[in-house]
Amino acid sequence: MTALLEMKQVTKEYRGVPAITDVDFRLEKGEIHALLGENGAGKSTLTKMMCGVTQMTRGEILLDGKPVNFLTPAEALDHGVAMVFQETSLVPSMTVAQNLYLGDEKLFNRIRRLNIAAQTFLQSMNFNVNPTATVASLGAAHKQMVEIARAVRKNVRVIIFDEPTAALTPEEKHHFFSLVERLKQRGVSIIFISHALEEALQIGDNITVLRDGALIETAPAKSFDRKRIIKAMVGRSIENSTHGVKRKFSRQGQDRVLSVQNVSMGTIVKNTSFSVYSGQVTGMFGLIGSGRTEVAKIIAGVAKRNFLNGGEIILEDRSVRYRVPRKAMQDGIVYVTEDRKAEGFFETMSISENISLGFQAAGLNKNAVVTRSEMKALAAEWTRSLNIKAIDSDASVIELSGGNQQKVVIAKSLVQKPRIVIFDEPTRGVDVGAIAEIHQLINTLADEGLAVVVISSYLPEIMSISDRILVCRAGRVVEEFDPLEADENQIMFAAVH
């Protein structure tokens, strides 16, 4: 039987360097196919070739047994192949309904009819989104729902999700998976890229593992377990993984370096108070929208000050309120963003330029003049210690895989020699091996006496690396847990109720 979509001996080269080499791939009708691999393994590249975002260098793609080579995403969409990106391609200033029907407008549109049609359609999929809301006002999960709805409305046969769950709360994930199931029942085939292996095991029918651009294996999900996937992904078993490991000790904090007292901002942060100690990892758990990111941004001067209404932030023994991140950085506070594309890196610049800009901004270089060799040396040091992989050292950051971009963002902040580091979702989009490396790094920082804050909505991550756990809900820190005593259910309960 011919597969719905088939790739034969496909190769993709970027500037002569292969990102995908001779990969065979089959997608059957109505299956959920999980695509796994380390950062830079070529998952995104492989799927981008299926949906016309980029073209293969060699090989063959067959849709219904007929060779195709889509030159644009629009062409792929016409053939029923759609891709849902992690960062959405919706028009932010338009409403949900307008976005849904974008490109299909009649000469005259009755807004009301549009809204009603959108409403019925969204309801038919059980999506709880207001069709008259502008997309800009929606959270990540809702944006993604709109994006999915748009693809479904176009009657697609293949939907590719590139790391769809990274920005979702547990509940939203649950919704997402049941949606995927429903799509499957309608006969839609789904390709699903994720770094959360449990998800792949849970919802995938088949799993394909890539490593360094090559196909390692394709097999039914049932035949896999976590260990075997990891082995296929990295080529060996990982020993130092902190995943799901119950901590046996926790660090005692040294000095109270930062204390947040009754800080409020708009309706997002409501009168929150907590402290951070040096030599310790403070984990901040909370669902998306619980105001964690916003508090961090207030502390680090990223949020514009005029939105603040009340409260005090005390650094060591003086009250501070930063106007710009630069001032916070000069006092040793850095914030590593969760949204790397919007505010994490300089996309046209190379790894070394990115890192050295962080270095210069901190005033750490001795000379006013910056030489290329200095930049290179600095970058070499950090690419080694964070194990950043790029096809060549002058590659611009936009050409790196998602996980490696994240490492560049981290390096750019750590090079500033901070005393207090706030990591916001530091391992989003990062593979298992790299997660272990980043966790290792965070532990080292705390051992060196830094005050480290890790914000995460992934509970196993919080459990395995925090020395104390703060739980946020509805704009404030509501409870503190000791990771040695608390269990996951208690923490989740505190975050939700």
Partner 1 sequence: MLKMLNQERIVGAIAVVLFIGFSIGLSGFLSGSNILSLIQNVSILGILGIGMAIGIIGRGIDLSMVSTMVISVAWMLVMVNSGVNLWLALGLAVGFAVVVGIVNGLLIAYVEVPAIFATLAMGIVVYGFGKSFLIGQDVVYLPRDESWFYHIGSGQIAGVPNPVVVFALVALVAALFLKFTKFGRYNYAVGDNVATARITGIPVRPVIVAQYVLIAVIAVVAGVVVATAVTSMNTRLALSTQVYDVILVVVLGGIGLSGGKGGVRNVIVGTLLIGILLNGMTIMNLGYTTQNIFKSVILLAAILIDTMLNPRDEQTAQHGDI
Rounded-to-integer distance, Cα 167 and Cα 160, Å? 16
Which of partner 1, Mg ion, ligand ATP, none does 353 bind, CB closer than 5 to 8 A by kind?
partner 1
Could you say whether residue 356 binds Mg ion (CB under 5 A)?
no
Q: Report the run of H or E that residue 14 belongs to, with start and end.
A: strand 5-14
Identify what 348 binds: partner 1, Mg ion, ligand ATP, none; CB under 5 to 8 Å per kind.
Answer: partner 1
Distance separating alpha carbons of residues 303 and 398, to the nearest angstrom: 25
In our burial notation (b when 16+ CB lie closer than 10 A, e otherwise), range 481-497 reads: bebeebeeeebeebbee
Torsion angle (degrees, nearest 10) of CA 459, 460, 466, 471 = 10
Give the one entry of partner 1, ligand ATP, Mg ion, none that residue 41 binds, where binding means its C-beta sits below a cut-off of 5 to 8 angstroms depending on kind. Answer: ligand ATP
Residue given tokens 């503190």 in the structure block: 480
- By beta-carbon proximity to ligand ATP, the closer residue of 147 and 162 is 162
Question: Which parts of this chain interact with ligand ATP (CB under 6 A)?
Answer: 14, 19, 37, 39-45, 390-391, 399-403, 429, 431
Nearer to Mg ion, 38 or 467 (CB): 38
Nearer to Mg ion, 260 or 386 (CB): 386
The verdict on 402 binding Mg ion (CB under 5 A) reads yes
- Asked if 245 contacts 48 with a C-beta cutoff of 8 angstroms, the reply is no
For partner 1, the closer CB: 258 or 333: 333
Contact (Cβ atoms closer than 8 angstroms) between residue 48 and residue 124: no
Q: Give residue for tokens 């901040």.
A: 284
Q: Which is nearer to partner 1, 115 or 337 (CB)?
A: 337
Q: How far is the CB of 482 from partner 1 (least distance, A)?
A: 32
Residue 223 backbone phi and psi in degrees, to 5: -80, 0
DSSP letter, residue 307: G
Sheet holding 66-68, edge to edge: 17-27, 5-14, 58-63, 66-68
- The entry of ligand ATP, partner 1, Mg ion, none that residue 342 binds, CB within 5 to 8 Å by partner kind: partner 1
Q: How far is the CB of 430 from partner 1 (least distance, A)?
A: 12
Pick the closest to residue 34 from 241, 184, 251 (CA basis): 184
**Using CB under 8 A as the criterion, which residues of the chain lie in contact with partner 1 when the complex forms?**
44, 48, 53-54, 73, 83, 85-89, 162-163, 302, 324-326, 328-330, 334-335, 337, 342-349, 353, 356-358, 360-362, 368-371, 398-402, 405, 412, 416, 429
Binding residues for Mg ion restricted to 23-82, rule: CB under 5 A: 44
Closest CB 363 distance from Mg ion, rounded Å? 35
Using CA atoms, how far apart are residues 341 and 461, in angstroms rounded to an integer? Answer: 22
Q: CA-to-CA distance for 301 and 323, rounded, in angstroms?
A: 5
Q: Is residue 415 helix, strand or coil?
A: coil
Angle between helices 140-153 and 111-124 (to 10 degrees): 100
Q: Smallest distance, Å, CB 96 to partner 1?
A: 17
How many chain residues touch Mg ion (CB under 5 A)?
Answer: 2
| Residue 337 interface partner, choices ligand ATP, Mg ion, partner 1, none, CB cut-off 5-8 Å depending on type | partner 1
Choice between 420 and 462, CB closer to partner 1: 420
Q: How far is the CB of 385 from partner 1 (least distance, A)?
A: 19
Pick 18 or 483: Cβ nearer ligand ATP:
18
Q: Which is nearer to partner 1, 279 or 429 (CB)?
A: 429
Minimum Å gap between C-beta 197 and ligand ATP is 13
Sole residue written with tokens 């950043």: 388
Residue ranges of E strands in 55-212: 58-63, 66-68, 81-84, 158-162, 189-193, 206-211
- The residue (of 13 and 331) whose beta carbon lies closer to ligand ATP is 13
Summarize as ranges the residues that interact with Mg ion (CB under 5 A): 44, 402
